[in-house]
Amino acid sequence: MILYYLYTIKREEMKEEQANFAKYGKSFQEMLAQLIVNDRPFADQIEEVLDVSFFELKYLRIFVSKIFEYRNRYGVHPTDKIVASVLRTELDNENQAVQKQVRDYFARTLVRTIEDEKYIKEISLDFCKKQNLKRAILKSVELLQSSSYDEIKDVIDNALKLGIDNDHGHDFKKDFEIRYTPHARNPVSTGWKIIDGITKNGLGKGELGVIIAPTGAGKSMVLAHLGAQAVKVGKSVVHYTLELSEAVTGQRYDSCVSGVRLSDLISMKDMVYEKINDIEGSLLIKEYPTRSATVNNLRAHLEKLKKRNQKIDMILVDYADLLKPSTNYKEKRTELESIYESLRALAQEFNCPIWTASQTNRSGLNAEVVTMESISEAFSKCFVADFILSISRTIKDKNANTGRMFIAKNRNGLDGLVYPIFMEPATVKIKVFEQEEDAVELLREKTPKEQADAIKEKYKNFRRQAKGA
C-alpha cells in the first residue's frame, strides 16, 4: 500500500510535466529529425520510444511521421530521393503554409552538417525512454488496484527494454544508398586537389590519417597546412601540440593563412591580423608537454569543448609518438600500437577526422622515398590508420625546397603513388604536383628573395589601402 500511495502522489505531477522537446529548442528538434533521416540505425533505435507528439513544431511532427510511415509500410529506410518524392505526393491533407514548411525544412537538411550528433542522440533517447517509463508507471498504478503484479513487472520490463541499442550493423541491401550519400563521410579537404582526388575529397569523419617522415622533414609543417586549409573553408579545428609551443604553432598558421614569411610576421602583423580575421573557420591550439598527455587527456579536453558548444570538425595531434600511453606496457611497440588504436577510437567517438604524424627510423633519414617499412618502433600502427602519406626530403631537396610525397596507404582509393612536392618552410607553403609534370620547373616558381619582395609589396599596398580607408 505504501508503494501505491507514493505512485498516486506523483501521478498528477507526471501528467502535468511538459512531454515534448520544447525545452531543448528549435535547433535541437530540427537536428534530431534530420538524424532520423540520415542515420538508419539511430532511426531503428529511437522509433521504439519516440512519440511524434514530443516534437513541439508541427512541420517536424509531420516530417518524422512520414519517415516512420514509409519505414513501416515498406520495411526499408527511405533514401533522400524517396523522402523528396513522399513530400511531393503525400502532404495534400495539410494546408499550403505547412506543406511549404515541411519541404523547406527537408531542403535545409540536404546541405546542413549536424553539430553535436552524439549529444542529440543521447539526450533525445534519454528523454523518450523516461517518458515511456513514466507511462508504464502510471499504468502500473491502475494495475496495483487489481494486484496484477506479474503484469506490472512485464509493463515495467518492456518499458526499460525499449530504445536499447538494437543496431545489428550495416545491412548490405537495405543500406545501399547510405554508402553513396555525401553525409556518410563528410570529408575535410587537404587543400591539395591531387590528394583530394584519390581520397574522395579528403579524410572523412571517424578516420585516422598519419604522416610519416624523418626528423626535420616537415611533419609539423604538413599538419599545420592541413589545419589551415580546413580553417579556410569554415571548419573548426583543434590542434594538439606536444613538441612546439602554442605561440610557435600559431605563427605557422599565421604564415600559412596569410602568405607572409615567418621572418616577416612581426613587422607585418597588422596585415596578418586582417587576413586571419577574414577566415570562416575557427582554430584552438592546445599544448601538452612531451609524453605528459594521454589520449584520455585529449578526450577530457574535447568533452569540455563540447560542453562549451565548441564545434569540432577536425583534430590534429602533433604528434602521436609523443603521447603517453594510458596503460604501462613492457614494450615500446605495444605502447605505440595502443596509442594509435585509441586515437582512431577518438576519431570515431567525436565523429571527425584525426591527423597525426609518426617518426621514421634511421633508414628513412635520407631515403629517396620513405615507405611504411621505415616507420619507427611499431609497423603494426600502420594497420590502424585509414590513410598514410610519407614525406621524403634529402639534403639536396631541403636546399631546393623540394621533396616527394608517397601515398603509402589509402582505404578510399589508390595508393603506392609518388608525387613531387614543393615545401617552403619560410611560408609554410606546400604544393603537390602530378607525377607526369616537370616538377623541377614548377618548383622554381620564384626564388625566396622574389617571394619575399612580392609579399613586402603586398604589405605596402595593404598599408596604402588602410590609410586611404
Could you please report the per-residue DSSP string of 407-440?
Answer: EEEETTS--SEEEEEEEETTTTEEEE--TTS-HH
DSSP state of 391: E
- What pLDDT shows up at residue 3? 47
Q: How confident is the model at residue 199 (pLDDT cuts 50, 70, 90)?
A: very high
All three cell numbers of 22: 520544447
Shared domain check, 350 and 268: yes
- What pLDDT shows up at residue 371? 73
Beta strands in 187-245 (DSSP E): 208-213, 236-241
Q: Which residue has the higher pLDDT, 87 or 369?
A: 87
Shared domain check, 38 and 131: yes
The values of phi and psi at residue 380, to 5°, are -65, -20
| Confidence check: pLDDT of 286 > 90 | yes
Last residue of a domain, one of 143, 161, 179: 161
Shared domain check, 229 and 152: no
Shared domain check, 215 and 143: no
- What pLDDT shows up at residue 117? 83
Shared domain check, 229 and 157: no
Residue 328's SS3 state is coil
Report the candidate in 22, 430, 454 with the shortest Cα–Cα distance to residue 195: 430
Q: What percent of the chain has pLDDT over 70?
A: 76
Mean pLDDT score, 36-65: 87
- Over residues 133-177, the pLDDT tens digits come to 776 666 666 666 666 656 656 555 555 554 455 555 667 777 777
State the CATH number of the domain containing residue 69: 1.10.860
Which H helix or E strand runs over 284? strand 282-287
DSSP state of 178: G
Report the candidate in 49, 85, 54 with the shortest Cα–Cα distance to residue 67: 85
- What pLDDT shows up at residue 442? 39
Last residue of a domain, one of 139, 161, 183: 161
Calculate helix-pair angle for 332-349, 295-307, nearest 10 degrees.
20
Instruction: Confirm if 195 and 201 have CB atoms less than 8 A apart.
Output: no
Q: What average pLDDT is seen over the chain?
A: 80
pTM of the model: 0.62
Contacts 24+ apart (CB under 8 A), 382-386: 382/210, 382/408, 382/409, 384/208, 384/337, 384/340, 384/341, 384/343, 384/344, 385/208, 385/209, 385/210, 385/340, 385/344, 385/409, 386/203, 386/204, 386/207, 386/208, 386/209, 386/344, 386/411, 386/412
> Does a structural domain hold residue 36?
yes
Instruction: Confirm if 45 and 166 have CB atoms less than 8 A apart.
Output: yes
Asked, as a colleague might, if the bond just before 119 is cis with ω within 30 of 0, I would say: no
| Confidence check: pLDDT of 63 > 90 | yes
Q: Residue 198, Cα to own-chain centre: how many angstroms?
A: 20
> Does a structural domain hold residue 128?
yes
Number of domains in the chain: 2
Last residue of a domain, one of 112, 143, 161: 161
Shared domain check, 95 and 14: yes
State the CATH number of the domain containing residue 242: 3.40.50.300
Shared domain check, 320 and 414: yes
Report the candidate in 281, 270, 276, 280 with the shortest Cα–Cα distance to residue 469: 270
Shared domain check, 216 and 153: no
Q: How confident is the model at residue 443 (pLDDT cuts 50, 70, 90)?
A: very low
> Does a structural domain hold residue 350?
yes
Shared domain check, 136 and 284: no
- What pLDDT shows up at residue 198? 92
Domain that holds residue 288: 193-465
> Does a structural domain hold residue 44?
yes
> Does a structural domain hold residue 171?
no
> Does a structural domain hold residue 173?
no
Q: Give CA–CA dist 137/14, Å, rounded.
A: 10
> Does a structural domain hold residue 7?
yes
Burial of 78 (0-12, 13-18, 19+ CB in 10 A): buried
All three cell numbers of 263: 621572418
What is 122-158 written as a DSSP string? HHHHHHHHHHHHHHHHHHHHHHHTTT-HHHHHHHHHH
Residue 461 Cα distances to 5, 269, 271, 275, angstroms: 81, 14, 10, 14
Shared domain check, 342 and 251: yes
| Confidence check: pLDDT of 315 > 90 | yes
| Confidence check: pLDDT of 14 > 80 | no
Residue 59's SS3 state is helix
Residue 344's SS3 state is helix
- Over residues 221-256, the pLDDT tens digits come to 999 999 999 999 999 999 999 988 999 999 999 999
Residue 103 Cα distances to 50, 84, 107, 294, angstroms: 22, 8, 6, 46
Write down the residue that cell numbers 609518438 correspond to: 321
Shared domain check, 200 and 136: no
DSSP state of 188: B
Shared domain check, 383 and 258: yes
End-to-end Cα spacing for the chain: 81
Q: Which residue has the higher pLDDT, 205 or 366?
A: 205
Q: How confident is the model at residue 73 (pLDDT cuts 50, 70, 90)?
A: confident
> Does a structural domain hold residue 362?
yes
